[in-house]
Amino acid sequence: MFRTAAHTGIDGIGAARYVLGLKPGVKTVAGLNQDYAWGRDSWDIFEKAIRKLKPDVKVLEPLWPKLMQGQFASEISKLQADKPDLIFTSVWGGDFVSLIQQARPRGLFEQSLVVINNDGANVEDFGKQMPDGIALGFRGPHWLDIPDPATTPLQKAFIDGYRARHKKYPMPHGSYHVVQALQGVKAAYEKAMKDKGGAWPTVDDVVKAFAYSKFDTPSGLISMAIGGGHQAVEEAVYGLTKMNAQTGFAGLTQVKVFPVECVNPPDGVKVADWIEKGFPGAKCP
């Protein structure tokens, strides 16, 4: 089993680092996450990270809406009444859309800084209805200009090809991660064949070639650096939404790209342990 995209750890750690850079004086934090493994894990990592990075922060009791319930009116009222400085959420897909649709007219994004840890799939679909000032995070360097298509030929080819076929931009992170998987397998087979002098490799040969490999993708060079060489690491990207009149949908401002060593634990170290010990070995700008 190989995973050619980064794991959940970088979403929560990246979110905590980004919001504290943006709002160092943050005092109260609330959470709104879907009540299943992804929501629980996302909140757990973010809460641990922000408590470690800013021990005096007050964390309010988190909200746990059902997955894809789509109705957030009561949760928004609670958040408006509590008035936290910061709201962390890991909602995605339909819930991401519903939450923004319902919170926008109620002024939640003006009241608190809302950070969404890992979804940009519907940003283009939202068009001009996407509010400014949401901190949006992506698992990996995937955005219209990250990495810069002018200097990354694969990124340019991917965006152009995707737009020609689907009439829209490839939004993070699903489309990029599928390509990463294909590129990773392709690179592993090529390496395994090369090692065998051009003969078709066995599965074991490919597994051996895949572990700790590096391969080129539209997101730049991906490294299978942790999890015994079976788990990729990526940079975490965060930025604030800002309407872009040119494209007709929200772009990002105050973008921060956190290097791999800043948000990923070293090989063999669990995320929770890394945070608990104070991120030993982390290299952040």
Partner 1 sequence: MDRLIIVLLDGIAFASWLFLVAVGLTFAFGVLRILNIAHGSIYAIGAYLGATLAGAVVRADVNPYLTYPALLVAAVVVGAVVGPALEVAFLRRVYQQEEVVTLLLTFSIFLVLEDVMKLVWGVSPIIVAEPYGLLGQLRLAGVTYPVFSFLLTAIAAAAGAGLWTMVNCTRFGKLLVAVAADREISAALGVNVPRMYTIAFTIAAMFAALGGAFTAPMVSVVPGLSADAIVLAFAVTVIGGLGNVPGAALGALLVGVLRATAIQWAPALELFVIYALMVAILLVRPEGLFGGIQLRRI
Residues forming the site for partner 1 (CB under 8 A): 35, 61-66, 68-71, 73-75, 77-78, 80-81, 93-98, 100-102, 104-107, 122, 125-127, 129
Which one, of 91, 169, 165, 179, lies nearest residue 125 by Cα?
169
Q: How far is the CB of 121 from partner 1 (least distance, A)?
A: 9
Distance CA 36, CA 23 (A): 29
Q: How far is the CB of 90 from partner 1 (least distance, A)?
A: 15
Of 101 and 202, CB closest to partner 1: 101
Pairing of strands 58-59, 113-116: unpaired
Q: Is the dihedral of CA 70, 71, 75, 77 positive or negative?
A: positive
State the DSSP string of 92-123.
-HHHHHHHHHHHTTTTHHHHSEEEE-S--TTH
Q: How far is the CB of 31 from partner 1 (least distance, A)?
A: 10
Q: How far is the CB of 189 from partner 1 (least distance, A)?
A: 31
Of 110 and 145, CB closest to partner 1: 110
Instruction: Go through the chain and tell me how many residues it has.
Output: 285
Q: How far is the CB of 78 from partner 1 (least distance, A)?
A: 5
Of 60 and 269, CB closest to partner 1: 60
Of 131 and 184, CB closest to partner 1: 131
Q: How far is the CB of 129 from partner 1 (least distance, A)?
A: 4
Q: Which residue has the tokens 């200097």?
A: 151
Of 3 and 78, CB closest to partner 1: 78
Of 102 and 223, CB closest to partner 1: 102
Strands (E), the chain: 28-32, 58-59, 86-89, 113-116, 135-139, 214-217, 220-226, 231-233, 236-244, 249-258
